[in-house]
A and B are shown apart, each in its own frame.
Chain A
Amino acid sequence: MKRLVNLTPSPVISAMLSILPFVMILLVYVAASDVRLEANPNDKLLPSFTQIGDALQRMAFEPSKRTGEYLFWQDTASSLSRLGLGVLIAASLGLLIGIFTGALPLVNVGVSPLLTVVSLVPPLALLPILFIVFGLGELSKVMLVAIGITPVIARDIQRRAREIPAEQLVKAQTLGASTPQILIRVLLPQLLPKLIDAVRLSLGAGWLFLIAAEAIASTDGLGYRIFLVRRYMSMDVILPYVAWITLLAFFFDVALAWISRKLFPWHAQGGS
């Protein structure tokens, strides 16, 4: 018998082992749901898959009686546009701040202490201020996402910029490169794949801020909806919404990883 640290499962066993926890959770859920619905057909805590399917059908494929919109898709579109805009702003700002503070000592001493302090402010504590300053419209929600993850991305890019060997910067200078040329041709292309990595890592936080903002002040959106139907204990709506959010998050992560591999093959293959 080999030591446990040396046991590597075959592909088939690996696949089975990785599916197993999902299957078990599903089985436990179905069993528990059956037991509760047996005792009380009106139980709302653990709806059956038929009930969830009906709710999803109602939300996604029938127009709302009140507004005439397909709520599920409306919510998805609103949430994604807020998240997308917020992340786009955060990524652009984070890249700019990170590259300039990482590469230019003069900018670094001016901006880094501020950046450190700002990154320590809990973004959710700023939410009331954002509502007061920007009102309850789209802007305050986008701003929360952007403000929440910009410092994280900026500090990550700053560190990555400093990790690029000084030899490369010296080499570029001996080839006659000016500061903007070094920033654009040596640093920027090497930092773009790191930016994608940073965005992938901060998307989780992005969703958190988005749902929090939507829960507090909104009229649509995935976060708004699950907090709204919580009042009626509509687990049949909340559960598919949570699953959908998870699926979207997973899809973005995979898509970003794919884009990074396609655009920056040297990075994916370990060319640092």
Chain B
Amino acid sequence: MMIEAKNLWKRYGDNVVLEQINLQVAEREFITMVGTSGCGKSTFLKMLLGTESSSSGTLLLDGKPISTEPGPDRGIVFQQYSVFPHMTVLENVVAAKAFQRRGITGYLFGSAKAAARKEAGDILQQVGLSHALDRYPHELSGGMKQRLAIAQALLAKPRILLLDEPFGALDPGIRADMHDLILNLWRQYKLTVFMVTHDLKEGFYLGTRLWVFDKLRHDPQAPNAYGASITYDLSVGQMDASLYQEIDDSLRPIVTGQTVDGLEGTL
């Protein structure tokens, strides 16, 4: 198993975000994570990334505790701010190449620079940005920015690619293009992907495996007393319409007795 979580908990003070997370993930799976906002799916992604650590339990990568700081084995694409605004498209990707070397400055010179530019050009071609090499990120559309962020992440040759609502801010048409792109890259680069999304359809379409984060226990008097865990762990393919509906309903904040009670609890 590549990733393994054993009775993983995450608390902030009295506020329990995640509880009793137990899971195993094999290499080359494409895992999509859905859930209501504040359900801890992003927190779990950050634990994989290394910017958050667990309160108790273990999270293992290849059988060893996962590093508590970000590293080149785990690439990331955020919803925004993923690219460097002061570098052109080409420089953004060349910089990714330069960061892999030991140098102090992070700049490349001579033949190393030429090789990096060549490689950067190739990957930018692949994500469809070869017409925009000399543009700055603020001159790009949202979709182009995310293509650039993905190209950058891939050039570091990560084994795991983490995606934090990467297409959340894009138009539906652009999003479909991005889906094709990410599926192609996932196959070609033999990646293991974890993707947070708020779009259940997207989760089903992209993933080989879908996790739903939700609270199993709920105390209306103390809404933060219990954390979320993974309530559904589905191999995509075993979906049927009624299950889809059930999950979809659980993601939408419908005013039921329970949620109204929950609201009163917070007042």
Interface of A with B (CB < 8 Å)? 165, 167-168, 170-178, 180-182, 184-186, 189-190, 264-267, 269-272
Contact A171/B104 with A177-B99, A189-B86 known, Cβ cut-off 8 Å: no
Which of A171, A175, A269 has the most chain B CB atoms inside 10 A of its CB? Answer: A175
Chain B residues with Cβ below 8 Å from A269 are 136, 138-139
Taking the complex as formed, is B98 at the interface, i.e. its CB lies under 8 A from any CB of chain A? yes
Q: Which A residue sits closest to B88, measured CB to CB?
A: A266
Stretch binding the partner chain, chosen from B18-26, B121-129, B152-160, B249-257:
B152-160
Q: Is the CB of B136 within 8 A of A175?
A: no
8 smallest CB-CB distances across A and B, nearest first, come from A181-B106, A271-B138, A185-B106, A165-B81, A167-B81, A173-B70, A177-B99, A176-B72
Q: Cβ of B51 < 8 Å from any Cβ of A?
A: yes
Q: Do B51 and A185 touch (CB < 8 A)?
A: no
Q: Which of A167, A173, A184 contacts B78 (CB 8 A)?
A: A167
Minimum distance in angstroms from A166 CB to a CB of chain B: 8
Contact of B104 among A181, A186, A271 (CB under 8 A): A181
Which residues of B are in contact with A by a Cβ distance under 8 Å? 49, 51, 69-72, 74-76, 78, 80-87, 95-96, 98-100, 102-107, 136-139, 149, 152-153, 155-156, 158
Main SS at interface, chain B: loop
User: In the complex, are the beta carbons of A170 and B70 less than 8 A apart?
Assistant: yes
A147 to B105, CA, bound (A): 30
**A171 lies within 8 A of B82 (CB):** yes
Are A266's CB and B72's CB within 8 A?
no
Interface centre among B72, B86, B99, B107 (most CB of A within 10 A): B86
CB-CB under 8 A from A167, the residues of chain B are 78, 80-82
Alpha-carbon separation in the docked complex, A180 to B98 (Å): 13
Given that A173-B69, A173-B70, A173-B71 are contacting pairs, would A190 and B99 also be in contact in the complex, using a CB cutoff of 8 Å?
no
Q: For residue B97, which residue of chain A has the nearest CB?
A: A175
